[in-house]
Structure 1
Amino acid sequence: MARFQRLDRLSQRLDSIFRIPGTRIRIGFDSIAGLLPVIGDAAATVPAAWIVLESRRMGLPRHKMMRQIGNVAIDGIVGSIPLLGSLFDIGFKANLRNVEILRRHLDRQP
């Protein structure tokens, strides 16, 4: 379970570690990095890919892993659009989605 907790903490940092003052909107390092064209989005893809890889190592079935890869791809493609991509990241939160896919899978295991 320690491995899952590390992934959960990482996804929180990437997608929702900070709250925008005066709102309930949460952002993370993924959204912030997305403000740097190309480099920021590429850098944010590395930990996102690690979450997918670790999920596979933890026994996530291929079809669920494909959903995770789709989330990372959507985040990367739309995230590469200046400004719009950062706004998309705020709402989409691919890393939290991917950890939730893994959480639901692990909860169903005996």
Structure 2
Amino acid sequence: MGASLPIGNDPTEIRQRIETLEMLLERSFVIPGINRPVGLDSIAGLIPIVGDIVTAAMGAYIVWEANNLGIPKWKLWRMAGNIAFDTAVGAIPVAGDLFDFMFRSNSRNLKIIKRHLDKHHPATKVIEG
């Protein structure tokens, strides 16, 4: 059927799960004409209240996985702040939907995690092409 996600606690496996979830939430497909990648976060945000809650919960899972990696608490708070800000502003009708299209909290959080992993777990580093 397709590749399955690893279920272990190894930093490499956690990184793979986080990267997959970030791709699902922020860049699942490209909008034709403007060539802008969008994901479930922008689409679900169109559903009032429920969409924002679901995507906030998925973003919180990324923070939980980051906690499992031993990322410092201040970085976890920063990541949680990104999600809270995205959820709060994204809940505003129409303007929030446009904001969700531009502000990618999960991509920002992935960048924080990658910096930590590249420094503390260099074996997880993947050459991106």
TM-score above 0.5, yes or no? yes
Deviates more, 1:84-93 or 1:68-77: 84-93
Comparing both structures, which one devotes a greater share of its residues to helix? 1
Q: Secondary structure of the equivalent of 1:108? A: helix
Residue 20 of structure 1 aligns with an amino acid whose one-letter code is: I
CA contact (8 A) 1:78 1:88 kept: yes
Q: Which residue of 2 aligns with 1:42?
A: 53
In structure 1, what is the Cα distance between the partners aligned to 2:110 and 2:99?
Answer: 18
Q: Is the 8 A contact 1:18 1:28 kept in 2?
A: yes
1:25 aligns with 2:36: yes
Aligned to 1:94: 105
Structure 2: distance between partners of 1:13 and 1:83? 22
Residue 89 of structure 2 corresponds to 78
2-side partners of 1:12 and 1:36: how far apart? 20
Q: Provide, for residues 43-73 of structure 1, a one-character-per-residue CA deviation record: whole Å limited to 9, x for no partner.
A: 1111100000110111110111111011001
Question: In structure 2, what is the Cα distance between the partners aligned to 1:82 and 1:43?
Answer: 16
1:61 is matched with 72
User: Which structure ranks higher in relative contact order (CA pairs < 8 Å, sequence separation ≥ 6)?
Assistant: 1
Task: Report what 2:3 is aligned to.
Answer: none
| Counterpart AA for 1:73 | A
| Distance in 2, Cα, partners of 1:7 & 1:44 | 14
Aligned-residue CA RMSD (Å): 1.0
Deviation at 1:105, TM superposition (A): 0.6
**Does the 8 Å CA contact 1:26/1:90 hold for their aligned counterparts?**
no
Deviations 1:78-109 (A, max 9, x none): 01011211211111110111111000011111
Runs of 4+ in 1 over 6 A off after TM superposition: none
Question: Tell me, what secondary structure is at the counterpart of 1:23?
Answer: coil
Which consecutive unaligned segments of at least 5 residues does structure 1 have?
Answer: none
How many residues align structurally?
110
Question: Equivalent pairs: percent with the same residue?
Answer: 43
